[in-house]
Amino acid sequence: MPKPAKKNSNSRAFTYVETLVALSIGAAVLTVVVISYSAILGGNIARQSAENVVVADRSVLYGYTDTNAIAVGFSPNFGASAMAEGLRENFLEDVSRGVAVYCLGRDGRSTDASTMRPNSLTLPVSTNARTLTPDAFLGLLSESVSGASGVFTSFPAPTSATNTSSLTNANLSVFILGATGNSTSIPINAIYETDMITTTSPPGTYASVRRFQGTTCTAYYHVFFPNETSSFAPQAEYFPRGYTSEVKRPFYYIWWPDPAAPRLAQGTNPSPPYRHSMAGRTSFFFVVPVFPPL
């Protein structure tokens, strides 16, 4: 007859004390998980619900024709962050396909969509749009588009290599020009608009970033910073050719508001020449050449 299998001398049941300790540890871990999950859902870590915010000029921002109330998520909001990431990809792709990029400031918005978002610009004979300074681009825009000179502001010229030419306006428009075989005009492939609007119902700052092709809004993200009155400026900085011995080509720093940030008022202001005046305030930061092909 076969011998019965030997029992493993190391196998034994848990003692009462061991079982009690294991149950205590499990209960403690479960309690921490429940508290953490409750904090995420009920706290301010990632508020996903949308609330109505009364925003002036809503029709100008998006082309809506209904009321001025906008349903928008309050910061920090990860849903808006996902939309912002998509818009970031659109922006980088547009820049890579463009022939020139120009940033202009705006203190407000024109009710005339064709003034804010032209499809193309008229070129004087023998003008190369890729060689225009920001000031010269504003002049070209003002000649081509009625009312543009009253809406947009260009960068002032830097006075030395210890300061940049910043836009401190509350709003920003970025024009991305496209290639053309027409000697008398140049197309505008896309316009990106950033607006920071102070609201009173409820009080705070409404932040909106939008992409336009002509007068059509093709993509956007927005977020509301409750009880936030701090400015988000400058939204762009310009570094011209020869700004320092290291700068061989002109470029911009551009910042967008961060939906994942709990506040607008955060960050530092290091010293020039590359002062990063918006450092720590947003994860949406771009270094953009003024003339990509050069």
DSSP secondary structure string, 234-253?
A: -SEEEE-TTSSTT--S-EEE
pLDDT in the model for residue 242: 79
Rg (CA), the chain: 27
Reported confidence tier of residue 103, pLDDT bands at 50, 70, 90: very high
Across the chain, what does the average pLDDT equal?
80
Both tokens assigned to 63: 């082309």
Q: What distance in Å separates the CA atoms of residue 154 and residue 169, rounded to the nearest whole number?
A: 10
Q: What are the distances in angstroms from CA 62 to CA 52, 222, 273?
A: 16, 11, 37
* Plot region of 154 (φ>0 → left; ψ -120 to 50 → alpha; else → beta): beta
Reported confidence tier of residue 15, pLDDT bands at 50, 70, 90: low
Q: What distance in Å separates the CA atoms of residue 9 and residue 194, rounded to the nearest whole number?
A: 73
Higher pLDDT, 203 or 164: 203
Average pLDDT over residues 218-229: 94
Residues 6+ apart with CB under 8 A from 213: 189, 190, 191
Q: What is the dihedral of CA 139, 153, 134, 184, to 10 degrees?
A: -30
The SS3 of residue 144 is helix
Both tokens assigned to 144: 């081509």
Q: What distance in Å separates the CA atoms of residue 69 and residue 55, rounded to the nearest whole number?
A: 6
Matching residue, tokens 């300074």: 133
pTM of the model: 0.81
Tell me the per-residue pLDDT of 156-180, one tens digit each, with 9 for 90 and over.
777 777 777 888 888 999 999 998 8
CB 223 within 8 Å of CB 85? no
The domain locations on the chain are 16-44, 50-289
Say whether the peptide bond before residue 234 is cis (omega within 30 degrees of 0).
yes
Tell me the per-residue pLDDT of 27-85, one tens digit each, with 9 for 90 and over.
555 544 443 444 344 444 445 568 899 987 777 888 766 667 899 999 999 999 999 99
Please, what sign has the CA dihedral across residues 72, 78, 82, 87? positive
Amino acid 169 reads: N
Lowest mean pLDDT among 72-86, 116-130, 224-238, 259-273: 259-273
